[in-house]
Structure 1
């Protein structure tokens, strides 16, 4: 019996030693893994190896790239992962001609600022100068000449009139071809008061941007019925259009 107990004790001791070795091995592996993760975190978040060295601007003309870069204020030498892309994008969106911005990190050291410029839908006169206006009613790119190839929108230029301008653009860009070809310009006083100025100087009270197709049909029907040119038309309520003598 004593011999049997001795063998059992030795086996138990051997198993115990194996368990201890496994535990030590696992502990060392865990320490090594933590060291690797820590080194990786330091490399990405603090080392200059993955820091910003190049800022690329896309979507704008070359002469605008320097302006975008200056406004973006991307910190050269700061690790890419630590650059606040939201703040960079917000600063660039502050430029009037910028519609939207996307920021992309390209490892190891490049930050790309992709600019989506505003698109001129109409030209708004402002004294002797002209603004371009996009679909949101935002004014941008003031110059001595109206933007090429866009219609004229006569609208207030105050910041508070952005909705009125947006409605004016919606009406202007949504006109059916048969009406668009006889319109010289569109005037907007408010979101509910849009008017068309026809080529023959006749004014059409259009109202809001709603029911554009119905208003266009009513206007064309009124024009065809007239033997003499009236001073204006009112199709703001297309079911009850009116000729203004």
Structure 2
């Protein structure tokens, strides 16, 4: 091999080495830049006040209850939005009597959202001078000095551990067919198995549990049609064996 050929080969080898070194340097710089960007993004999201909580949006409640929801939520305004414990906020707001469900989320860059699904009032219960609305689960909410409008009255205990009794009463109130409901003056639930109706005629109807309401109502209507005079009690708690007390 000539001297010129050896010299040319040496130059090519040196060029390849330089290119390889350059690629390694560029690769290292790219990796370093990526790490810096990831770290910067993590700091921006998790620690910087640029993405901190500045606003709280509340949906699903009336305007006069919005302040109560925000106070109960205890949102750490000024803290990074990404680090807010949304589960803890949901638990606190869910403790409000009128909240059937709560969903807390993030609306970037600076807003925490609280969406409340309110309970549906199906009956009204009175305790002394205080009125409550009742939902299908027997939960009391909406304490007021005035009777809730648009729902029937249910006479039932208001103790916290009597929710199942109230739920049974609500099931009766909402389950009665209109042909019977239109005759009812009031509904009383003393236990899950002791629900009574007071008819506009003055008669009492022993309904028992809130099961088989349609069948019990059918039997009751048949008994009413047969009576020439209004009895004091109709007992349809066992609809196959109804009874009438004069």
Same fold (TM over 0.5): yes
In the alignment, the residues of structure 1 paired with residue 10 and residue 233 of structure 2 have an alpha-carbon distance, to the nearest angstrom, of 112
> Structure 1 6/241 Cα, relative in aligned 2: closer, same or farther at 3 Å?
farther
Aligned positions, number = 245
- 1:19 corresponds to which residue? 20
In the alignment, the residues of structure 2 paired with residue 197 and residue 105 of structure 1 have an alpha-carbon distance, to the nearest angstrom, of 51
- 1:212 corresponds to which residue? 213
1:112 aligns with 2:113: yes
- 2:83 corresponds to which residue? 82
- 1:238 corresponds to which residue? 239
DSSP 3-state at the match of 1:233 = strand
Shift of 1:207: 1.7
Mapping of 1:17-166 within 5 angstroms? 17-166=18-167
In the alignment, the residues of structure 2 paired with residue 193 and residue 44 of structure 1 have an alpha-carbon distance, to the nearest angstrom, of 58
Greater shift in the superposed pair: 13-22 or 142-151:
13-22
Shift of 1:6: 7.2
- 1:189 corresponds to which residue? 190
DSSP 3-state at the match of 2:93 = helix
Q: Which structure 2 residue ranges, 5 or more long, are not aligned?
A: none
In the alignment, the residues of structure 2 paired with residue 218 and residue 130 of structure 1 have an alpha-carbon distance, to the nearest angstrom, of 33
Shift of 1:239: 2.4
DSSP 3-state at the match of 1:205 = strand
Shift of 1:24: 2.5
DSSP 3-state at the match of 1:102 = strand
In the alignment, the residues of structure 1 paired with residue 193 and residue 41 of structure 2 have an alpha-carbon distance, to the nearest angstrom, of 60
Q: Which structure 1 residue ranges, 5 or more long, are not aligned?
A: none
DSSP 3-state at the match of 2:207 = strand
What are the Cα deviations for residues 182-209 of structure 1, in whole angstroms up to 9, with x where unaligned?
Answer: 1111111111221111112211111222
TM-score by length of 2: 0.91
> Structure 1 10/241 Cα, relative in aligned 2: closer, same or farther at 3 Å?
farther
What are the Cα deviations for residues 125-154 of structure 1, in whole angstroms up to 9, with x where unaligned?
Answer: 212322211111111122222101110100
- Please report the RMSD computed on the Cα atoms of aligned residues, expressed in angstroms: 2.0
Shift of 1:95: 1.8
